[in-house]
């Protein structure tokens, strides 16, 4: 299995710059998510790891060896596509055996390997069946089997569950993660679905317009978004943004919205001018005693919780509160913010105002 390191990797298609200078490391055995909206450069980044695209500049290391300009055939990496292409005229066993037979492996050894892989995937009982009549889940397992049987250094997956309906997708994502935990293979997985990335990934890279916006473990990315884009992209409903003009001193531990001071959980880097306070809906509390005020303009019932939308002097705020709490559209109420995860962004750079000390902790934590 392998560590994969991407260093200052850039990809241009003609005059179009699809991936800007990207640097990150995927550790051996990690389940690593490349996350971002359509067109942000995730697939291009994955294809460069596989050797299906060559970087315009920068280096790609697999287990310390620079492979950036080497073709896919010399990288020993398995690429699992969204549309699993199985050979329809062959049965399951032949589909899984094919990569080994084409490498010239002796038949008894192939049989043994296929049996092992089928056992791992729970498909021993369908080995002799034609792939044509299989369910979607079994087809996915066969396709995975074909990738696993080669025992590659890493698996690269491009939205492998993208075509499935929601319920089955959830089931298969749990199965893939469990399979990973059993095998411990380095896996890089492309998705535009932030929930899927949070649920499955050990680490996530968030990309936007070819730029790596943030790289880290899911909880850090959720709690401490490094940029306004990440704060908005991760979480549903997304983080609330309250825009204000102000000055924040270096090392400040609070910000002021009008007359109300809000404690922030970390020391901030100094900034002044147009700033934005970020607060997640679950950290907004409605309390008549609070001095910061808003008007309730909508409430959406979601079973155990409800999403209440309020109008404030600094923009709209959504609060996720228990559904048994009565709320009345049109009423004014106080809002309190749980200081644990408040973020502050500089509108000029769209970066979170994190003091150097905090940034070091995040970068190395």
Residues found near ligand ATP in the complex (CB under 6 A): 13, 16, 18, 36, 38-44, 192
- What span, in angstroms and rounded, lies between the C-alpha atoms of 255 and 240? 16
- How near is the Cβ of 22 to ligand ATP at its closest, in Å? 12
Handedness of CA 286, 288, 294, 299 (dihedral sign): positive
Closer by beta carbon to ligand ATP, 211 or else 327: 211
- How near is the Cβ of 19 to ligand ATP at its closest, in Å? 7
Closer by beta carbon to ligand ATP, 138 or else 193: 193
Closer by beta carbon to ligand ATP, 40 or else 226: 40
- How near is the Cβ of 38 to ligand ATP at its closest, in Å? 3
Read off φ and ψ for residue 192, nearest 5 degrees: -105, 5
**Chain residue at closest Cβ approach to ligand ATP:** 43
How many CB atoms within 10 Å of residue 16?
Answer: 8
Closer by beta carbon to ligand ATP, 200 or else 277: 200
- How near is the Cβ of 273 to ligand ATP at its closest, in Å? 32
- How near is the Cβ of 59 to ligand ATP at its closest, in Å? 19
- What span, in angstroms and rounded, lies between the C-alpha atoms of 268 and 358? 8
Closer by beta carbon to ligand ATP, 15 or else 219: 15
- How near is the Cβ of 42 to ligand ATP at its closest, in Å? 4
Strands 154-158 and 186-191: parallel
- b/e 336-357 (16+ beta carbons within 10 angstroms → b): bbeeebbbbbbbeebbbbbbee
* Strand arrangement, sheet containing 16-26: 16-26, 4-13, 57-62, 65-66
Closer by beta carbon to ligand ATP, 29 or else 36: 36
Read off φ and ψ for residue 274, nearest 5 degrees: -80, 115
Read off φ and ψ for residue 15, nearest 5 degrees: -90, -5
């Amino acid at each position: 299995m392998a560590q994969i390191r991407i260093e200052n990797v850039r990809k241009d298609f003609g005059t179009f710059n699809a991936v800007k200078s990207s640097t990150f490391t995927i550790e051996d055995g990690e389940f690593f998510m490349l996350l971002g909206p359509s067109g942000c450069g995730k697939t291009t980044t994955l294809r460069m790891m596989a050797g299906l695209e060559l970087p315009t500049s920068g280096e790609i290391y697999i287990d310390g060896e620079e492979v950036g300009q080497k073709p896919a055939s010399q990288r020993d990496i398995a690429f699992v596509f969204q549309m699993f292409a199985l050979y329809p005229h062959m049965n399951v066993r032949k589909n899984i055996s094919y990569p080994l037979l084409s490498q010239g492996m002796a038949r008894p050894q192939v049989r043994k390997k296929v049996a092992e892989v089928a056992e791992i995937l729970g498909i021993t009982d369908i080995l002799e069946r034609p792939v044509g009549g299989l369910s979607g889940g079994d087809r996915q397992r066969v396709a995975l089997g074909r990738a696993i049987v080669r025992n590659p250094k890493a698996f690269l997956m491009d939205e492998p569950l993208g075509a499935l309906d929601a319920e089955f997708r959830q089931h298969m994502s749990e199965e893939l993660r469990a399979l990973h935990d059993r095998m411990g293979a380095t896996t890089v997985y492309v998705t535009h679905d932030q929930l899927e990335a949070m649920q499955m990934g050990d680490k996530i890279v968030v990309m936007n317009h070819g730029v790596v916006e943030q790289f880290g473990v899911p909880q850090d990315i959720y709690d401490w978004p490094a940029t306004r884009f990440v704060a908005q992209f991760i979480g549903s409903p997304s983080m609330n943004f309250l825009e204000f003009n102000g000055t924040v001193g270096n090392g400040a531990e609070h910000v002021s919205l009008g007359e109300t001071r809000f404690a922030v959980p970390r020391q901030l880097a100094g900034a002044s001018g147009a700033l934005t306070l970020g607060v997640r809906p679950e950290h907004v509390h409605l309390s008549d005693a609070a001095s910061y005020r808003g008007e309730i303009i909508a409430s959406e019932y979601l079973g155990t919780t409800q999403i209440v939308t309020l109008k404030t002097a600094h923009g709209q705020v959504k609060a996720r509160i228990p559904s048994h709490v009565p709320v009345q559209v049109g009423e004014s109420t106080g809002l309190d913010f749980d200081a644990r995860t408040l973020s502050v962004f500089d509108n000029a750079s769209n970066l979170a105002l994190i003091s150097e000390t905090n940034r070091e902790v995040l970068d190395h934590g």
